[in-house]
């Protein structure tokens, strides 16, 4: 259990700490200053990316083989083309709808099971060994068996992503529920509050930061597992598309899809981080759980 707890809680601040752009505003800053800081960050971003693109371009000139390493310009053209003929939307929609179904399911079932395990010791003692047995077997290792049972198609990537997202969510929910400060539960009890109100107004908000960390970890792991599943055993989706264009040796389009996969992964994480900020504003106070 402790493994995932570390994962959940330690990776987190690392990510925020890795952004010098979002440096701590130790002094009260005026709106003007903030705009300048933001512009500065954008400038640094553009400058770094420009340097990277130039190196890439020179590298592709040096390799001189558009199949091995196409230039950034070719790749950008491929991206535009994919947008223009709408092909990209088909694959994005396929992947995102799978994501929606499996991630939604993982959250509902994972959080429910996590609460049951966190609040009831008998359930915990019975289910925890199962979780610990299955957890080390990654979602990706289920792909061959999954192909056999579910066949190549819609169900496989959905199931694999569900599996990948499920465990981080369960484990972080359990940790969150078990780590609720008993002092707060006592404080609610001495105010003569009902058990239901304690679950709703004390345990749920106390566990929420951990649940959201679990959701973010689960989304990351699940997204990766789903791309792998699409690459191996699905007739559509982003993973399928990169593999398809590799076989056709159309590397610029491969790169365009890799870019889209990265972008969607990034947006998903941003979305969940935004959710964290909105849903748990009290956890922003430097408690380590942002």
Partner 1 sequence: METLEKMTPKICLGGITKEYIAPRTGQRTLAIADVSLDVFQGEFLCIVGPSGCGKSTILNMIAGLARPSRGELVMDGKPIRDPGAERGVVFQDYALFPWKTVRENIEFGPRYRTAGPLSASERDRIVRHYIDLVSLTGAENKYPHELSGGMRQRCAFARALANEPEVLLMDEPFAALDAQTRLILQEELLRIWGEELPRAARKTVVFITHGIDEAVYLADRVAVMSNNPGHIKTIMTVDLPRPRRESLRATAEFQKLADAIWQLIRHEAYEATIDRH
Partner 2 sequence: MSLHLRLRPFILPLLLLALWQIAAMAYAQTSRMPVPGDVLTMGWTLVSSGELPLALLQSLKRVLLGFACAASLALVVGTAMAAFEPIGRNLDPIVESFRPIAPIALLPLAILWFGTGTPAAAFIVGYAAFFPMLVNTIHGVRSIDQGVIRAARTLGVSRFTILRTVVLPGALPNLFVGARLALGVAWTSIIAAELAVGAKAGGGGSGGIGQMMFVFYAYSVDLSGIIVCMIGVGLVALIIDRGVRALEFWMLPWKR
- Binding interface with partner 1 (CB under 8 A): 181, 183-184, 186-194, 197, 201-202, 205-206, 208, 280-283, 285, 287
Site map (CB under 8 A) of partner 2, residues 184-223, x = contact: ---------------------------------------x
Closest approach of Cβ 129 to partner 1, in Å? 21
Q: If you write DSSP's letter for every residue of 48-74 in order, what string do you get?
A: HHHHHHHHHHHHHHHH--TTTS--HHH
Which window, 25-33, 46-54, 81-89, 167-175, contacts partner 2 (CB under 8 A)?
46-54
Q: Of partner 1, partner 2, none, which one does residue 106 interact with (CB within 5 to 8 Å by kind)?
A: none
d(CA 112, CA 127): 13
Give me 172's structure tokens: 């972080």
Site map (CB under 8 A) of partner 2, residues 77-116, x = contact: ----------------------------------------
CB 210 within 8 A of CB 173: yes
204-233 vs 2-17: helix axis angle to the nearest 10? 90
CB 61 within 8 A of CB 42: no
CB 161 within 8 A of CB 226: yes
Q: Of 254, 247, 249, 227, which is closest to residue 238 (Cα–Cα)?
A: 227
- DSSP 3-state of 249: coil
Is 32 a binding residue for partner 2 by CB under 8 A? The answer is no
Task: Point out which residues bind partner 2 (CB under 8 A).
Answer: 3, 6-7, 10-11, 13-15, 17-21, 44-45, 47-49, 52, 67-68, 122, 125-130, 133-134, 136-145, 147-148, 223-225, 227-228, 231-233, 238-239, 242-243, 245-247, 251, 254-255, 257-258, 261-263, 265-266, 269
């Amino acid at each position: 259990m402790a493994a995932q707890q570390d994962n959940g809680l330690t990776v987190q601040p690392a990510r925020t700490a890795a952004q010098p752009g979002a440096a701590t505003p130790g002094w009260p800053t005026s709106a003007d200053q903030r705009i300048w800081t933001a512009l500065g960050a954008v400038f640094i971003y553009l400058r770094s990316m420009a340097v990277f693109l130039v190196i890439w371009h020179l590298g592709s000139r040096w390799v001189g083989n558009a199949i091995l390493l196409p230039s950034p310009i070719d790749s950008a053209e491929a991206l535009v083309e994919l947008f223009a003929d709408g092909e990209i939307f088909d694959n994005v929609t396929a992947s995102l709808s799978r994501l929606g179904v499996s991630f939604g399911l993982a959250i509902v079932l994972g959080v429910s099971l996590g609460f049951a395990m966190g609040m009831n010791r008998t359930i915990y003692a019975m289910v925890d060994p199962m979780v610990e047995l299955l957890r080390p077997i990654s979602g990706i290792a289920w792909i061959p068996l999954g192909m056999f049972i579910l066949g190549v198609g819609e169900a496989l990537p959905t199931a694999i992503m569900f599996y990948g997202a499920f465990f981080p969510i369960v484990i972080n929910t359990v940790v969150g529920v078990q780590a609720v400060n008993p002092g707060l539960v006592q404080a609610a009890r001495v105010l003569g509050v009902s058990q239901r109100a304690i679950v709703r107004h004390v345990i749920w908000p106390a566990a929420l930061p951990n649940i959201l960390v679990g959701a973010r970890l689960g989304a990351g792991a699940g997204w990766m597992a789903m791309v792998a599943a699409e690459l191996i055993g699905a007739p559509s989706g982003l993973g399928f598309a990169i593999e398809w264009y590799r076989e056709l040796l159309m590397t610029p389009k491969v790169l365009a899809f890799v870019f889209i996969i990265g972008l969607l992964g990034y947006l998903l994480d941003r979305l969940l981080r935004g959710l964290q900020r909105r849903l748990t504003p009290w956890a922003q106070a430097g408690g380590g759980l942002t």
